[in-house]
Amino acid sequence: MDFNLHEEQRMIQKAASDFAQQECLPGVIERDEKMLFPRQQVLKLAQLGFMGMMVHPNYGGAGMDTISYVLAMEEISKIDASTSVCMSVNNSLVCWGLEAYGSEQQKQQYLTPLAQGQKNGDLYIGAFLLSEPEAGSDATSQQTTAKDMGDYYLLNGTKNWITNGSSASVYLVMAQTDAAKGSHGINAFIVEKNWPGITVGAKENKLGIRASDTHSIMFADVRVPKENRIGEDGFGFKFAMHTLAGGRIGIASQALGIAGGAYQLALAYSKQRRAFGKEIMHHQAIQFKLADMATRIEAARLLCFKAAYEKDNGQDYTLSSSMAKVFASETAMWVTTEALQIHGGYGYVKEYHVERLMRDAKITQIYEGTSEVQRIVISRAILK
Ligand code: CAA
């Protein structure tokens, strides 16, 4: 077993770290406070090839492996989780799904510009529309309908909590075509945001990842050409589940980065803050916290790498991606809380970044499958 990163992976890690320091750190507090979408940052990510990292170069991607993706997500998330979630959704929920299951025509038309993150010099990214007001964890209970009208489908319904909701040009939408068939009656469609009948709701005012744009999307008699259905009739739920398995590696890596960012801040603070006549790092109460943080972060990283390795090697990564996500997200919540505690009162104010990391950590236990859903996936796999 080789735990060393190879040369190219180290270069990507460094490029992501430099990007986070130089492009994301300036203004990150203001973007969080004012809920400003990180447009410039995402355009820069596109130029770096980070919006379609794992897509084959034939389709506009950078052709990198999933380990590199984990490394890039980790580094960017240490500083700016609002930017990294936009990157994660485009890479693993949108581009991966299209590359794995899209037709050749769909790949040429949609995947290629999505993997480049831009079209005609403008931002061009995607969103994944599964959740609904009444269907979150219970994803098979889709209420959005896609009525088969012959050479097109008629789409009606509402989707909730959509990351990249207003900035995306392309939506991958799951909808029920035949309710009698349950999950086998669900289809996935490629829908362009500017088609008639689509309304984007107001930007959600969130606890964390406040700069990312989360919206409801409403569909009223939207005509979707038949050739925009992804895969065979009734494949939509499996499409969503397979795609989410990869997405969970992205969110696990995001959680890993949030934890790492908070840990680094706490470590630096403990070396300069003095209390009771010495730097607080000399107090065992702080040392034990730092030791536990470092250990849990390392364990989370290894789980992310394992899931990424399995994905890169054509193995089933459903179990390992759920393990990585539940462990890394719970690590992020715990580490950020402890990091804030080490900072004392300073941790509670915005300038020190750690309170934002704690707020950002929470969503990693919720989106792309709650911790409870991950435990359903894990327990089913180990009990079957
Ligand atoms: N891979 C492939 N197929 C799968 C699968 C997987 N991981 N999980 C289930 N399936 C298949 C099953 O085999 C079954 O197929 P058959 O009928 O042919 O046997 C079918 O799908 C239905 O599966 P279940 O009976 O297991 O379905 P369920 O109703 O019990 O639900 C669940 C299972 C795991 C809870 C699933 O509903 C789930 O993952 N829910 C969470 C949804 C989620 O993650 N939402 C996040 C929204 S996206 C988001 O957050 C994006 C964003 O913007 C950041």
How many angstroms separate the alpha carbon of residue 365 from the centre of ligand 1?
17
Residue of 184, 214, 238, 372 with the most ligand 1 atoms within 8 Å of its CB, for mutation: 238
Ligand 1 geometric centre to CA of 139 (Å): 7
Q: Tell me, using a 6 A CB cutoff, whether residue 245 lines ligand 1.
A: yes
Per-residue pLDDT of the chain (384 residues; tens, 9 = 90+): 889 999 999 999 999 999 999 999 999 999 999 999 999 999 999 999 999 999 999 999 999 999 999 999 999 999 999 999 999 999 999 999 999 999 999 999 999 999 999 999 999 999 999 999 999 999 999 999 999 999 999 999 999 999 999 999 999 999 999 999 999 999 999 999 999 999 999 999 999 999 999 999 999 999 999 999 999 999 999 999 999 999 999 999 999 999 999 999 999 999 999 999 999 999 999 999 999 999 999 999 999 999 999 999 999 999 999 999 999 999 999 999 999 999 999 999 999 999 999 999 999 999 999 999 999 999 999 998
> pLDDT value at position 235?
98
- The values of phi and psi at residue 143, to 5°, are -100, -20
Q: For ligand 1, say whether the CB of 101 is within 6 Å of any of its atoms.
A: no
Residue type, 27: G
Render 60-75 in DSSP notation, one character per residue: T-----HHHHHHHHHH
- pLDDT score for 2: 86
The predicted pLDDT at position 341 comes to 98
Judge if the beta carbon of residue 242 lies within 6 A of ligand 1: yes
Alpha helix positions (H), the chain: 7-19, 28-34, 39-48, 66-79, 81-88, 96-101, 104-106, 112-116, 236-272, 284-312, 318-343, 354-363, 371-383
Q: Whose CA is nearest to atom 43 of ligand 1?
A: 369
Tokens at 329, concatenated: 């997200």
Distance, CA 31 to ligand 1 centroid (Å)? 34
Cα 128 to averaged position of ligand 1 atoms, centre (Å): 14
Distance CA 172, CA 191 (A): 6
Question: Active-site residue numbers?
Answer: 368
Which of 83, 94, 160, 241 has most ligand 1 atoms within 8 Å of CB, for mutation? 241
Q: Which residue has the tokens 């300073």?
A: 346
